Amino acid sequence: MNEELVSTVAKSAEKKHTSNNPYSAPLKLSGITTTDEFRYKTGIGELDNVLGGGIVKGSLVLIGGDPGIGKSTILLQVCQNLGKSINILYVSGEESRRQLKLRADRLGVDSDILIMTETDVEIICEQIKTYSPELVIIDSIQTMNLTQLSSSPGSVTQVRECTNYIMRVAKALEIPVIIVGHVNKDGAIAGPKVLEHIVDAVLYFEGDKQLTYRILRAVKNRFGSTNEIGVFEMTYKGLNEVINPSLMLLTGRPMGVSGTCVACTMEGSRPILAEIQALAVNSGYGTPRRMSTGFDYNRMNMLLAVLEKKGGYNFGGADSYINVVGGFKLDERAVDLCAALALVSSLKDIPIPDDVIAFGEIGLAGEIRSVSQAEKRINEAARLGFKKCILPYYNLKNLSAEVNSSIQLIGVRSVYQAVKAIST
Ligand SMILES: Nc1ncnc2c1ncn2[C@@H]1O[C@H](COP(=O)(O)OP(=O)(O)O)[C@@H](O)[C@H]1O
Ligand SMILES: [Mg+2]
């Protein structure tokens, strides 16, 4: 339980603000004029894609992620590209000017952006009004504070009220603002979750810190689809776009061993191939151990139950593990079949041929159910040189004409048929 002090000062200040605001009077819908929705292209294709085509004028974008994942880095790269044509104010509450300069030098940023190291939101907003930049970056919201509030920076109240304050100023002046928010697991600092409803778009940076690549995902977007992802690689020179993520995820795949299978998942409109590895070994103790990384644990248990009951595979006496290679997370039902095949392959020690790819949802009756966008998945697999595709029977029946003919398609109705298809 956290004690949150209710501040009367903030309340009255808020009231004054709205009554002065010309935007608070009601207006007829037909009376509102819109110029064409204007977007600033960030110059980073993957980021523009996730944003739905660029940063919308007057919008509030939140970029969340673990500390050190690369939020400041990508924003500095945005500054480099956009700073050539527009005025940018970069507010950092975390790093000194010198540190920022050092990072900018490392990333090769030479655009003349305005740098400000300040944590008082009121002062920042004053400066925004004075300089009227065309883009403001706040790094990070957890370091910002409003002096009227008595709670410490990073608390829920501070984070929420600071964002609200910035939002009012930014919306009135139609200046887009990008806010950085750290995700903190131990909960000592209020995370981006408390802001999601306030801002227009929420992007999350994901990735394993030990690995060099990062995935940028939109979880909310008032100006675009939330299904798109961007893939980046962290290098000394900053984040590079990865145009062909499937190839990257599949490099170094072991050949001719059991317990591995390649899945095709859709991330928005983009198909991505990823390797699922499974290990099933005789359990030494009474209760078998189960563990999954990058794959839903409950879904794995369900698949094991279906395989046990409908396929006759004895997983009850085996410890089972699933791992999605490369720190990638698969949360689509269409990867069920691939995970099931990898599990059976490991249990029975039958290697799945290297050029096989599988997708399909598994139902509780052991049936393989059709999935969306089968053509795109097949074509992506064919493009990367796969020769055999195991897919739901109903998908095969309803294929549109335009699939690559270099890949053999095998439609299956049950897990049993799928296992048979890989072992022949
Ligand atoms: N000199 C360097 N060479 C290569 N990579 C670096 C260097 N300095 C920092 N990095 C990378 O940049 C990351 C920090 O990125 P940063 O944008 O500061 O993260 P965030 O703002 O999300 O906390 C580090 O985790 C590291 O991977
Ligand atoms: Mg940072």
Helices (H), 319-392: 336-348, 374-383
Residue nearest to atom 5 of ligand 1 (CA): 236
Q: Please, are residues 370 and 360 in contact by the beta-carbon 8 Å criterion?
A: yes
> Over 80: is that where the pLDDT of 195 sits?
yes
Predicted local distance difference test score (pLDDT) of residue 22: 61
Alpha carbon of 50 to ligand 1 centroid (Å):
21
Q: How far is CA 169 from CA 179, 241, 297, in A?
A: 14, 33, 44
CATH 3.40.605.10 is the classification of domain 248-423 = no
CB-facing half-sphere around the CA of 98: CA atoms within 13 A: 0
Under DSSP, is residue 363 helix (H, G, I), strand (E, B) or coil?
A: coil
Alpha carbon of 373 to ligand 2 centroid (Å):
38
Alpha carbon of 170 to ligand 1 centroid (Å):
29
The second-level CATH assignment, the architecture, of 8-243 is 3-Layer(aba) Sandwich (3.40)
Q: What is the pTM of this model?
A: 0.77
Cα 53 to Cα 218: distance, rounded to the nearest angstrom? 13
Cα 329 to Cα 296: distance, rounded to the nearest angstrom? 9
Alpha carbon of 211 to ligand 1 centroid (Å):
12
Residue nearest to atom 12 of ligand 1 (CA): 70
**If pLDDT is split at 50, 70 and 90, which confidence band does 369 have?**
very high
The minimum-distance atom of ligand 1 relative to the CA of 140 is 21
Cα 59 to Cα 56: distance, rounded to the nearest angstrom? 6
> Over 80: is that where the pLDDT of 211 sits?
no
Residue nearest to atom 8 of ligand 1 (CA): 236
Ligand 1 near 68 CB (within 6 A): yes
Q: Please, are residues 249 and 328 in contact by the beta-carbon 8 Å criterion?
A: yes
> Over 80: is that where the pLDDT of 189 sits?
no
Per-residue pLDDT tens digits for 320-360: 999 998 778 888 999 999 999 999 999 999 999 999 999 99
Q: Please, are residues 383 and 401 in contact by the beta-carbon 8 Å criterion?
A: no
Q: Which residues make beta-bridge pairs with 39?
A: 56
Indicate which ligand has the atom closest to the C-alpha of 209: 1
Predicted local distance difference test score (pLDDT) of residue 155: 86
Mean pLDDT of 303-325: 92
Predicted local distance difference test score (pLDDT) of residue 422: 85
Residue 207: both structure tokens together: 């990735």
Q: Do domains 8-243 and 248-423 have the same CATH topology?
A: no
Cα 266 to Cα 278: distance, rounded to the nearest angstrom? 21
In a mutational test of the pocket of ligand 1, which residue from 47, 63, 66, 73 has the highest number of ligand atoms less than 8 Å from its CB? 73
Residue list, CB under 5 A from ion ligand 2: 72
Ligand 1 near 92 CB (within 6 A): no
Q: Domain ranges for the chain, please list them.
A: 8-243, 248-423
What is the 8-class DSSP label of residue 180? E
> Over 60: is that where the pLDDT of 15 sits?
no
Indicate which ligand has the atom closest to the C-alpha of 63: 1
Ligand 1 near 181 CB (within 6 A): no
Q: Which uninterrupted H or E stretch holds 245? A: helix 245-250
Q: Which uninterrupted H or E stretch holds 310? A: helix 297-311
Ligand 1 near 65 CB (within 6 A): yes
**If pLDDT is split at 50, 70 and 90, which confidence band does 309 have?**
very high
Ligand 1 near 318 CB (within 6 A): no
Predicted local distance difference test score (pLDDT) of residue 18: 53
Q: Going by C-beta distance under 8 Å and a sequence separation of 6 or more, which residues neighbour residue 80?
A: 43, 107, 108, 109, 110, 111
Alpha carbon of 68 to ligand 2 centroid (Å):
7
CB-facing half-sphere around the CA of 347: CA atoms within 13 A: 23
- Among 292, 287, 270, smallest CA distance to 336 is for 292
Cα 314 to Cα 308: distance, rounded to the nearest angstrom? 6
Q: Among 17-21, 88-92, 124-128, where is mean pLDDT lowest?
A: 17-21
In a mutational test of the pocket of ligand 1, which residue from 182, 209, 234, 235 has the highest number of ligand atoms less than 8 Å from its CB? 234
Q: Please, are residues 40 and 176 in contact by the beta-carbon 8 Å criterion?
A: yes
Q: Among 92-106, 158-172, 238-252, 374-388, where is mean pLDDT lowest?
A: 238-252
What is the 8-class DSSP label of residue 258? B
